[in-house]
Amino acid sequence: MYLRCTLMGFERSCFFLKNVLRRNLSLVKPVFALGLHKKDIALLQEIQYTLGVLLIRYE
């Protein structure tokens, strides 16, 4: 099952994050409305906690 979330604006200016998303997400879609697997959510949360930046918002 996919969880719905929205990536916040930070990723637009972060080349590193875009590369991480392309390599690691099960689904590669436009970054504003992704259907993400739980493991992808966990990856984004890990990045978010490491950077101290809000990257995802659950809907």
What's the pLDDT score for residue 49?
A: 67
β-bridge partners, 7: 56
Number of domains in the chain: 1
| Domain region containing 13 | 3-58
What letters, b where the CB count within 10 A reaches 16 and e where it falls short, cover 23-49? eebeeeeebeebebeeebbebbeebbe
pLDDT over 50 (residue 28)? no
State pTM to two decimals: 0.32
pLDDT over 70 (residue 7)? no
Two tokens at 19? 């590369």
